[in-house]
Amino acid sequence: MITPQPAGFLCLVLHAHLPFIRHPEKQYTMEENWLYEAITETYIPLLTYFNNLIDDEIPFKITMSLTPTLCSMLDNELLQNRYAAHIGRLIELAEKEVRRTRYDRAMNRAAWMYLDRFSLCKHVFEDVYGRDIVPGFKRLQDAGVLEIVTCAATHGYLPNMRSNAVAVRAQIEVAVQSYQNFFDRPPRGIWLPECGYYQGLETILSQYGIRYTFLETHGILNANPVPPAGIYAPVRCGEAHVAAFARDAESGKSVWSADEGYPGDPHYREFHKDIGFDLGLNYIAPYIDPAGIRINTGVKYHRVTDKRNPEKQLYDRETALSRAAAHASDFISKRTEQIKNIARATDSPPVVTAPYDAELFGHWWFEGPEWLNFLIRKCALEQNVFRLTTPSEYLDNYPETHICAPAFSSWGDGGYSHVWLNETNEWIYPHLHRMEDCMVQCAHGLKDTERGGLKERTLNQMARELLLAQSSDWAFIMKTGTTVEYATRRVKEHIASFWKLYETVTTGDGDEGFVGLLEGHNNIFGGIDFRVYKDTQGPRRT
């Protein structure tokens, strides 16, 4: 039987990223919870649903970025052990909640739901994946249903590094090496941190075999010349063999918009009302910050109700799931009409690229994984206008034909660099630029005969400290005003460590104790070679 040619394609892209946060020197750090929450609410649910789809023989294709920092944390034994303890505490809390709410039918159903979910997470984490879930995503890629793309090494905002092309290349080269280590193949695509693009970046990407990336809508609509298919076909960036897929704002609005997006439905679970803040301190103390600071536990009993009214009604899971199914049907209906209309004006079947932060699904939007599950099933079984695809599959079938120069852009507020360069965080960049220049000088200053030993270890750790300081997350946090003290401290610590290491290199007074301390603390990229900062105009060969 010949499968009919679809009118177009939908490319779903989930960007999974967290900054590298690991504090072996402390028993508890609030910011480490970001990882534990994401594992429980996003990564394990996605893994579970994707595997269920395979078991049910539902054809699908989806794309995810798994950033090097995220993979490194998921692969880290200390954090794996701490997550195991974390999910154990949540199970204990849910068991207490089942008993506490036994006389309130609605709350008790929700309490049982949390107990079941936490118990499933423990089973998947411990028994199915042996505490390491990265191979679970790898197996999905090997099965041909998931395409995993990389990202810059520490999610550094590349346009703010463009004054030093070697620093940009180092972010890319370390990322490619990390991807190869985790997935046993080179990456075909890359998620540019914050979708930050500037002209010339594609040349660096092509040197590392990167075949495609993703840009914000106006990066393509403002391209020179404007591509005839607009954002609905990949373009070739200049003379480099790198294709760019543009974000479709229309499909994004249905999920992202605070006013029109699905997550604002009154029947969905309310994110901002958690028992970590609502219950008595004596009762909740073992499950929040040991210092008594109240935090989210993930146990929430109320629904959005009315976004303008602080009084919230109780959450009903079955009603919420019915809304998720209805919203999946609505999304498909809108994409169907959209693709039909676009197909009439394009030579090749159009592709609608719909990228989202992965953590939106489950963490911020509790029903997000269920919506995605419904969406994939309905795409396969209830319509034949479009098919799900990945960037590689689309390029294999419809190679990019239009060559243009995309415009400088990002997907941050305002569409350019204001989020990562403003009065709250501008102080970072003079330090980073000095460190970048210094790292390049050091990479050229060590003779090959000096390989091995304390001096090389020191320079390798300097490279780690620079990469970690470059993370776009710190500047973003300073702008949004969330955990500013932590972000500021992290940047200052990496800067100070870098220059203390440099001092020992220049004076010849090696400090093995200090180097070892940092190697144990900031132990990302175990095989890093500081020579990635050599100005070779291409990938370094060893």
* Residue 420: both structure tokens together: 């990562």
Among the options 357, 456, 511, 519, which is catalytic? 357
Among the options 41, 97, 194, 393, which is catalytic? 194
Strand 243-246, strand 235-237: pairing? antiparallel
Residue in the structure block whose two tokens are 């699904």: 361
Residue in the structure block whose two tokens are 């603390």: 521
Q: How far apart are CA 441 and CA 370, in angstroms?
A: 51
- The answer to whether the peptide bond before residue 369 is cis (omega within 30 degrees of 0) is no
Q: How far apart are CA 153 and CA 150, in angstroms?
A: 9
Nearest to 420 by CA among 241, 195, 170, 178: 195
The DSSP secondary-structure symbol of 247 reads B
Q: How far apart are CA 39 and CA 437, in angstroms?
A: 37
Is 357 part of the annotated catalytic residue set?
yes
Give how far Cα 23 sits from Cα of 11, 286, 456, 517, Å.
37, 20, 24, 12
Residue in the structure block whose two tokens are 């020191």: 458
Q: Which amino acid is at 322?
A: S
Q: How far apart are CA 249 and CA 411, in angstroms?
A: 11
The count of C-alpha atoms lying within 13 angstroms of the C-alpha of 287, restricted to the half-sphere facing its C-beta, is: 26
Nearest to 350 by CA among 408, 285, 397, 295: 397
- Which residues does the annotation mark as catalytic? 194, 357
